[in-house]
């Protein structure tokens, strides 16, 4: 039986993901990845050979890292499971874990402070406070809507994400700033960060606003995205506590291996550790 990816099948699969209680962000990601495959196939029939060719096309492209390609393939494989097209599934690429974090990915505390200052100086007070809220609590950008008026008043946010509930403490200095913001906006209930239509601010708009202030802040654009603020929180927390299990609980991770990614040393830090080992002689010897 010939196989084609149709809009009807995609719509049914999207409903299936919703009934499986996947997060809105996960559903959006899967559907975006599947439409990428659908665009590649066009009107062609789906076969295992086509999937292997698609996999190699993605690998040959300089647009995507292997980790991103694997996420595309995972989305496709999950859809094939749903459709019963098991013979079309392909293996993901095996990727060795990075020992250290590349410098271009590492947002430092000084750079974060420049972003907050630049946002404030440009009159982007809401953005400035959003940056501080994410970085000072370690929440995901998708959890920002659960920083509510009532939660700020109590100093504790009730977060529900990926089927898990946890409580997140709001530091006193941040609570004070949020209460002032709430008072200025005349908010009585609901999310602290709202649009004019009383809806939670859109994550894509936050991302765009963050990118827009990079030049004024003097921070490289590729370092600036909401999840990097969560990474900075994790690194700062771990430097004080050195307790990865507790950090995993704070971040809402079920697997400590996920938490390890957040506290990875940078390339410069890794180099200093290697040099500190003293395994290379400092004396230059004449070998001629």
Write the DSSP string, 80-113.
HHHHT-GGG--PPPP-PPPSSB-GGG---HHHHH
Write the pLDDT tens digit of every residue in 256-272.
Answer: 888 888 887 666 666 77
Nearest CA among 100, 140, 57, 108 for reference residue 265: 100
- Which tokens in the block code for residue 105? 């990915």
Q: Residue-wise pLDDT tens for the chain (288 aa)?
A: 889 999 999 999 999 999 998 888 889 999 999 999 999 999 999 999 999 999 999 999 888 888 899 999 999 999 999 999 999 999 999 876 666 667 767 899 999 999 999 999 999 999 999 999 999 999 999 999 999 999 999 999 999 877 788 999 999 999 999 999 999 999 999 999 998 888 899 888 899 999 999 989 999 998 898 999 999 999 999 988 889 999 999 999 988 888 888 887 666 666 777 677 777 776 665 554
Write the pLDDT tens digit of every residue in 130-173.
Answer: 999 999 999 999 999 999 999 999 999 999 877 788 999 999 99
pTM, full prediction: 0.70
């Amino acid at each position: 039986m010939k196989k084609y990816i149709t809009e009807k099948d995609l719509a049914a699969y999207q409903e299936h993901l919703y009934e499986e209680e996947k997060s809105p962000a996960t559903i959006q990601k899967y559907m975006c990845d599947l439409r990428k495959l659908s665009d590649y196939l066009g009107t062609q029939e789906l076969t295992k050979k086509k999937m292997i060719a698609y996999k190699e096309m993605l690998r040959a492209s300089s647009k995507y890292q292997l980790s991103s390609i694997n996420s595309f393939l995972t989305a496709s494989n999950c859809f094939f499971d749903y459709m019963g097209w098991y013979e079309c599934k392909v293996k993901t690429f095996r990727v060795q874990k990075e020992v250290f974090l590349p410098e271009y990915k590492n947002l430092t505390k000084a750079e974060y402070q420049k972003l907050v200052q630049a946002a404030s100086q440009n009159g982007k007070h809401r953005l400035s406070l959003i940056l501080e809220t994410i970085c000072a609590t370690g929440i995901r950008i998708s959890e920002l809507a659960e920083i509510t008026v009532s939660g700020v008043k109590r100093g504790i946010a009730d977060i529900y994400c990926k089927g898990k509930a946890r409580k997140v403490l709001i530091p006193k200095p941040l609570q004070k700033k949020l209460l002032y913001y709430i008072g200025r906006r005349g908010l009585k209930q609901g999310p602290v960060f709202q649009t004019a239509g009383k809806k939670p601010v859109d994550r894509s708009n936050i991302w765009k606003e963050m990118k827009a202030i990079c030049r004024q802040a003097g921070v490289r654009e590729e370092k600036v995205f909401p999840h990097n603020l969560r990474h900075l929180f994790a690194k700062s927390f771990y430097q004080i506590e050195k307790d990865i299990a507790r950090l995993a609980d704070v971040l809402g991770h079920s697997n400590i291996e996920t938490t390890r990614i957040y506290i990875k040393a940078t390339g410069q830090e890794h180099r200093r550790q290697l040099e500190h080992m003293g395994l290379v002689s400092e004396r230059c010897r004449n070998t001629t």
